[in-house]
Amino acid sequence: MPLNGLNETHFNFPTQTGFYKGKVRDVYYFGDKMAVVASDRISAFDVVQPKAIPYKGQVLNQVATKFLKATADIVPNWLISTPHPNVSIGLKAEPFKVEMVIRGYASGHSWREYVSGKRIICGESMPDGLKESDKFPLPIITPTTKAAEGHDEDIAKAEILAQNIVSKADYEQMEAYTHALYNRGQAIANKNGLILVDTKYEFGKRDGQILLIDEIHTPDSSRYFYLEGYEARQTKGEAQKQLSKEFVRQWLIENGFQGKEGQEVPFMPDEFVELITNRYIELYEKVTGEKLIKASYEGIEAKIQKAIEVSI
């Protein structure tokens, strides 16, 4: 396995009208279309880690493609085609400045808030007496602001509407889409022996229509538990077996990093990088029910460039 993945791209296409480098994706704009390159960068606590994770970009791009296609009957989305394992071509939309996070279980951020004593998150109540990884009575939507840089922040629906960040009609439509997408994602996850614990969706507007944009149900945007043994582990008070990048966050926490000011990003050894790669591949194969056909890294940048050129 190559220890150096695809960290970034630097193309300059003749018809290119803009470029944006996100935490993980490199986005090339061509008028009302865009080419999105899923790099192997990994972000945790809103900080991009120095080392790329081989095959991570391919996993993200192919999982997102599969689920965008599987949910197109619920909400229209931005995807046009996937001409390379790391590339998606799609429609440009004006993104809403909030991310719709939906949580079905007390885990990750919601659990960290819960054990700190909070019982309300983003205006949504969490009942007393929960254990880590317990199922909420009903899934809760806990939106975050979409920060141009730095940390996204929790925000309640009431604040979003009061600040007119999103109109009431658009927000309620996104709420309905979020619940429907989560239900579909949960059904597919269950069929493949997983539980979709929490996930996030991003939406944009194009010609007056709300579109689902960005990624969906990937290990970067979602947390999964194994379905088999979930109840037994909860009963015994054992940690859930999960597929997500939470273990990367835990490793960083154990090594003194949570993205706070003054903290230094710890060195990530090659063995841990390989472990992350293997976990991403495991999630891909588990959540899709298909084996990952690893793309070659030989000449990958030239192949990506050609794929974009012939698709735009």
40: left (phi over 0), alpha (psi -120 to 50) or beta: alpha
Give the residue from 191, 275, 251, 189 showing the smallest Cα distance to 225.
189
Residues of the chain with pLDDT under 50: 1-2
Q: Which two tokens stand for residue 138?
A: 């009903």
| pLDDT score at 243 | 83
Q: What is the DSSP string of 228-269?
A: TTHHHHHHHTPPPPEESTHHHHHHHHHTT-SS-TTPPPPP--
| pLDDT score at 3 | 57
Run of H or E residues at 140: strand 135-141
Q: How far apart are CA 275 and CA 185, in angstroms?
A: 26
What CATH number is associated with residue 231?
3.30.470.20
Confirm whether 261 is domain-assigned.
no
Run of H or E residues at 288: helix 270-288
| pLDDT score at 139 | 98
Confirm whether 109 is domain-assigned.
yes
Please name the residues in contact with 279: beta carbons below 8 A apart, sequence gap of 6 or more: 219, 243, 245, 247
Query: Which pTM value belongs to this model?
Result: 0.91
- Domain count of the fold of the chain: 1
Q: Which two tokens stand for residue 132?
A: 């880590």
Run of H or E residues at 110: helix 108-115
HSE-up (13 A, CA, CB side) for residue 125 = 4
Which residues span the domain enclosing 137?
95-243
